[in-house]
C-alpha cells in the first residue's frame, strides 16, 4: 500500500528473475525454450475463468489428513490483506478450530530483538498443521519486501520448526528457534494452560 510503483505492472523489480529464467543454460536444464515473462496478459486472461474458487473445504481436508499448511500475508498487502486472510482462517470449521481461535498470536523476533512477524498454529495428532503468519513491513510480495524473514519462515516451515500448539502434546515439547527468530514467549497454551518448553538457540 505504501510503495511507489516504479516497476509496473507488478511494482517490483524482477529483472534478476527474468535474467535467470531466460538464460539458455537454465532453460536447457528446465527443458523449456519459451521466453519467460513474470506478467503475461494473454495467459492471465486465459486463466480468469478459474480465478475465484472457494477451496476452504479442500484445505481442511488436507490438514485433517496430516498435511501441514501455512497461510501468510504481509501486514501492508492491500490485495491479499492479512485482516481478510486471518478472518477466514479463524472461521474455518475443523478439528483444531477451537484451539486455533482461542490462542494469542506469538510474537516472532529477529536476532536483534525486533518484532518481525506474528504466528498462530495448531498441530493435530496425525501431524496435520494449520498455521497463520503475519509478516510485518511486507506487502504483496513478502520475499521481495522482507527477504530474510521470508527465507527463515519458509525454512522453518519446511523443517517443522515454527511454534505450534499441539492438541495432544507429548510430556515434553522442545521447539527449536532458528538463528534468525527468537520466540518472545517461552510457552504455548494447551487447553488454556501454559506449557513450558525448551527453546534451543
Alpha helices by DSSP H, listed for 31-103, are 41-47, 56-64, 82-90, 97-102
pTM score of the predicted model: 0.73
Q: What is the average pLDDT value for the chain, to the nearest integer?
A: 82
Q: How far apart are CA 80 and CA 27, in angstroms?
A: 31
Alpha helices by DSSP H, listed for 31-146, are 41-47, 56-64, 82-90, 97-102, 142-145
Query: For the residues 8-24, what does the mean pLDDT come to?
Result: 87
pLDDT 10s digits, 52-77: 778 888 999 999 999 999 999 999 99
Query: For the residues 141-155, what does the mean pLDDT come to?
Result: 94
CATH superfamily of 66-200: Alpha/Beta hydrolase fold, catalytic domain (3.40.50.1820)
pLDDT 10s digits, 82-102: 999 999 999 999 999 999 999
Classify residue 144 by its DSSP letter. Answer: H
For residues 142 and 70, is the Cβ–Cβ distance under 8 A? no
Q: How far apart are CA 151 and CA 142, in angstroms?
A: 10
Q: How far apart are CA 170 and CA 124, in angstroms?
A: 12
Query: For the residues 100-109, what does the mean pLDDT come to?
Result: 94
**Which residue spans of the chain are classified as CATH 3.40.50.1820?**
66-200
Q: DSSP 3-state assignment of 68?
A: strand
Amino acid at each position: 500500500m505504501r510503495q511507489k510503483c516504479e516497476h509496473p505492472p507488478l511494482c517490483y523489480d524482477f529483472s534478476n528473475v527474468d535474467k535467470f529464467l531466460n538464460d539458455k543454460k537454465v532453460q536447457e536444464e528446465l527443458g523449456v525454450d519459451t521466453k519467460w515473462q513474470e506478467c503475461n496478459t494473454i495467459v492471465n486472461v486465459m486463466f480468469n475463468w478459474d480465478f475465484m474458487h472457494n477451496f476452504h473445504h479442500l484445505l481442511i481436508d488436507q490438514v485433517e489428513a496430516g498435511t501441514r499448511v501455512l497461510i501468510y500475508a504481509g501486514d501492508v498487502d492491500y490485495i491479499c490483506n492479512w485482516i481478510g486472510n486471518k478472518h477466514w482462517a479463524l472461521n474455518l470449521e475443523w478439528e483444531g478450530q477451537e484451539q486455533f481461535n482461542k490462542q494469542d498470536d506469538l510474537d516472532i523476533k529477529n536476532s536483534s530483538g525486533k518484532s518481525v512477524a506474528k504466528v498462530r498454529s495448531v498441530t493435530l495428532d496425525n501431524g496435520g498443521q494449520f498455521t497463520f503468519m503475519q509478516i510485518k513491513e511486507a506487502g504483496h510480495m513478502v520475499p521481495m519486501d522482507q527477504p530474510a524473514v521470508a527465507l527463515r519462515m519458509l525454512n522453518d516451515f519446511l523443517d517443522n520448526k515454527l511454534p505450534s500448539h499441539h492438541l495432544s502434546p507429548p510430556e515434553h515439547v522442545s521447539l527449536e528457534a532458528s538463528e534468525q527468530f527468537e520466540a518472545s514467549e517461552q510457552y504455548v497454551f494447551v487447553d488454556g494452560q501454559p506449557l513450558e518448553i525448551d527453546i534451543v538457540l
